[in-house]
Amino acid sequence: VGKNVAVDRYLSLCGAEREYSQLHRDSTVSSLTATPTLEDGILRHEDAPLVRAALHGRVCVLDEADKAPTEVTVLLKALVADGVLPLPDGRILRVGDNVHADFRLVVLANRPGYPFHGNALFRECGDAFAGLVVDNPDVDSEVALLEDVAPSRPHDERRRLACAFAELRARHETGSLAYPFSMRECAAVARHLELYGSEDEGVGDALANVLAHDAYAPQRAMVAAVFEAHGFEGVADKLQRKLDGIVPSMAYDVEYTSIKGSGGASVPRTGLSAPKFGKVDPSGNPHVGGNTWAGGSGGSDTAGLGGRGGPYRLW
């Protein structure tokens, strides 16, 4: 819905400096506060954007916060609600002490569930923030946006495009469509028309380019019907021609077969008596199976990588 664009415009109007960081599923508590850098072969840890913004009075924008693990986002609550954030190097950020008075934190997140597959950020720490829901724009606002994205396209075409996407969103709200078509998809279709409209076959080709990820989805026919109803003729046929090649034209039966003599219960070469460390081979030769040598893979009783009954792993 253009959250980043709106925030950037707001900060530009305010004349505020911005520190930006995008969170993801592999984000950790340490990565939120420190950034590793390699300089002249030496690994150093510098302050992350959040810490720099807190110390220097900037605005920190944390994007995709719903993708981060909950233990990371809860750390934000400690800073905002409690006013205290311990850092890995022993320093402690304290509001009213070393945290700059102009420091602000903007956290951007999507709602939980399909299709964003994020965490419920508001449930975890929403009470510590001043929540603001950014919805899709109304038709007139979206038409104004499309005028900037595709200035050479006819005004009537831009309005019909905005109305069609508005209906798709309304159908998503009622449960008819699974995917919530946002302003991003609408702008992508308009941008495609602006760049390739003279070479392609119009909206049908632009939609095929943007909606190719839904080639298997049964909602494709409903999407095409919506655009047909808004005056984009031939969209259904063009989508079928463009996207049917993605869908397999025939079904395949998968049969699992095994090598002759394989399958059935496993019969180890050695028995399983009691866990033990095993002997150390001074030559360092690799060992697979058996229950004599420590290390190696497979085998029984002895410590190693894989196998059964070993007391612990040896890498």
pLDDT (tens digit per residue) in 282-312: 888 887 777 777 777 766 777 777 666 666 6
For residue 203, count other CB atoms closer than 10 A to its CB.
Answer: 26
Per-residue b or e along 237-249, where b marks 16 or more CB atoms closer than 10 Å to that residue's CB: ebbeebbeeeeee
Residues 6+ apart with CB under 8 A from 301: 270, 272, 273, 274, 275, 276, 278, 291, 309, 310
- The token duo for 233 is 């003729």
For 109-143, the pLDDT digits (tens) are 888 777 677 788 888 788 888 888 888 888 998 99
pLDDT value of residue 251: 66
Contact 105, 62 (CB under 8 A): yes
Give me the residue label for tokens 């030559």.
283
At residue 315, the pLDDT reads 56
Structure tokens at 43: 């690994």
Please list the pLDDT of the chain residue by residue as tens digits (315 residues).
678 888 998 999 999 999 999 998 888 888 888 888 888 888 888 899 999 999 999 999 999 888 888 888 888 888 888 888 888 888 889 998 899 999 999 999 888 777 677 788 888 788 888 888 888 888 998 999 899 989 998 899 899 999 999 998 888 888 888 778 888 888 888 988 888 876 556 777 777 777 766 655 667 778 888 888 888 877 777 777 766 655 555 567 777 777 666 666 666 666 666 677 778 888 888 877 777 777 777 667 777 776 666 666 665
Q: What is the pLDDT of residue 66?
A: 87
